[in-house]
A and B are shown apart, each in its own frame.
Chain A
Amino acid sequence: MTATSAGTAGEDSDRRRGALMAAAQAGDRGAYEALLRDCLPLIRSAARGQGVAADRLEDVVQDVLLTLHRVRHTFDPSRSFNAWLRAISQRRAIDVQRRQSRQRLREVHDPGAYEDHPDPAASPDHGLDRVTQAQRMREALAALPPGQRQAVEMLALQDQSLAEAAAATGRSKVALKVNLHRAVKALRARLAPGDES
C-alpha cells in the first residue's frame, strides 16, 4: 500500500467516524454502538504510544469509553474525530500511568521478603506444642467409652464408610453415627482451650 492510499484510507475512516459521532450526538444508537467498537483499536494504539503496559491497556480503553460518552457533546463534526479521540486517549493513558505510579510508591517491592520471613512452624517451641497436642489427643481418645472410641477410630481416623464400619463391628449405622457424635462432643469439651487436665 502506498503512502498516499494509506493517507486516503485514514482520512476516509476519520470522516466515517466523524459522521457516526455526529449521528450519535443526534441520538442514533446504532451509529454509536458501531462507533464505539470501531474506536477500540485507535484507543489501544494511542495508549501504547504513551507507553502504557499491556496489562493496563484495557483499563485505559474503559476510561476512554466512559470519557468519550461524557464529553461527546464537545466533538465538532467539522474537525478530525481521530485527533479528538487520540487526545482523550492520551490524556487517560497518562492518568492511568499516574495512578499506577502512585500505587507503586505505596507498595514495597521486596523480592527477598518471602525467603527471609521466619517460618513459625520451624521453631523448637512449635514442635514441642505439636507433641503436647498429640499426647493430649491420645489421652482424650483413650478416655472415651469403648463404643465411641471405636466409632472415631474407624470413621474419622481410618476413613471407613458407615457400611464398612457397621459390617466390621456388627453395630447399626445409626448407633455408629450417634457414638461418633457423642465422641466428638466429648473430645471438644476435653480439648477446649484452658482445659489442660
Chain B
Amino acid sequence: MSAAGWEPHEALIRELTAELRPVRRLWSPPWRTAVWAAVLVVAAGGLACVSDLHAIWLRLTGASDMWLAVVGSVVTALTAGLAAFELSLPDRSRAWALLPLPGLALWLGASGMGCLRTTLIPAARMPTMGEESHCLMFIVGVSVPLSLLLLAMLWRARPLRPGPVAAMGGLAAAAAAASLLSFIHPYDVAASDLVFHTVAVGIVILIVRALGGRALGAPTSSGSGRMRRRG
C-alpha cells in the first residue's frame, strides 16, 4: 500500500491508537439470550409463588389453544430476544428479524382459535372492560422493566441499526410480559382480549423503538466520541 493511501487519516489513526484500552468481548448472542431467559424464569418464579398453580394448570390443559398460545408467546419472547442480540452485531444478517415470526404466528393463531372457541360456546364468560384494561396495563407495565433490561444489554453492542434492534427488543419484552400474564389471567382469550393484548404489544414495540432506538444510537462518552471530525 502506498503511503499516500493512509496519509489523510494518519492523525486519526494515531489518536485512536493512543487511546486504545483492553476491552472485554461481548458474550455471544445465545449466551445473552440465556441470561434473558434466566431473568424471565426468575420473574415467572416470583409470580408462581403468589398464583394458584393448580388452577392455572387445569385452565391451560383444558383446551389445546390455551397452552399453545402460552408456548407461542414464550417462544416469541426468546426468539425475539435472540434476534435482537444477533441484529445488534455489525456482521449479522437482517434475516434474523424473521426468527420470531413462527412463534408470533403460533401465539396469535392459538389466541385466535381461543377467541373462536369462546364465541362458539354458549354463555361463555366474557371479560369485562375493566379486566381488559387491567391486562393492557399489566403487559405495558411489566414490559417497562423488561425493556429497560434488554436495552441495557443491547446498548453494550452499540448497534449500527438501533431502530430495528430496539423494536425487536420491544417485541421480546412485550411477549415476555404477555407470557407472565398467564399467571393472573383467570379466563379464556376472547376476541376483545386478543385485540387488547395486540394493542398492548404494539404500544410497547412503538415506544421502545422510538425511545430505545434513540438511546441505543446515542453517541457514547468514550474518547472516540469526543474526537473531532475532519472538516
Contact = CB atoms under 8 A, between A and B. Distances in A.
Secondary structure of the A contact surface, majority rule: helix
Contacts of B227: 66
Contacts of A66: 12, 16, 224, 227
A103 interface: no
Interface in A38-74: 38, 40-41, 58-59, 61-62, 65-67, 69-74
Nearest to B23: A73
- Residue among B5, B16, B89, B229 with most chain A CB within 10 A: B16
Contact of B8 (A58, A73, A84, A87): A58
Nearest to A61: B9
B107 to A, nearest CB: 31
A62 B12 contact: yes
Contacts of B54: none
B225 A70 contact: yes
A25 B26 CA distance: 11
Nearest to A75: B25
A48 to B, nearest CB: 14
B22 A27 contact: yes
A169 B49 CA distance: 113
Given A71-B90, A91-B90, A91-B161, A40 B25 contact: no
A88 B92 CA distance: 11
Interface in B182-228: 220, 222, 224-225, 227
Contacts of A86: 91
A76 interface: yes
Given A62-B9, A66-B224, A74 B17 contact: no
Contacts of B23: 25, 72-73
Interface string B4-36: 011011001110111011111110100000000
Contacts of A76: 25-26, 28
A66 B89 CA distance: 16
A110 B6 CA distance: 36
A33 interface: yes
A74 B89 contact: yes
Contacts of A58: 8-9, 230
B152 interface: no
Contact of A40 (B1, B28, B161, B230): B1
A71 B216 CA distance: 13
Given A71-B90, A87-B90, A91-B160, A65 B25 contact: no
Nearest to A26: B22
A58 B156 CA distance: 28
Interface string B59-94: 000000000000000000000000000000111000
B157 interface: yes
A126 interface: no
Contacts of B91: 79-80, 83-84, 86-87
A139 to B, nearest CB: 51
B33 to A, nearest CB: 15
Contacts of A69: 16, 224
A75 B157 CA distance: 10
Interface string A123-142: 00000000000000000000
Interface of A: 24-27, 29, 32-33, 36-38, 40-41, 58-59, 61-62, 65-67, 69-76, 79-80, 83-84, 86-88, 91-92
11 contacts: A24-B20, A29-B17, A29-B20, A32-B16, A40-B1, A40-B6, A41-B5, A61-B8, A62-B230, A74-B26, A74-B89
Given A65-B12, A74-B158, 9 more contacts: A41-B1, A41-B5, A62-B230, A66-B16, A66-B227, A70-B220, A71-B158, A75-B25, A80-B91
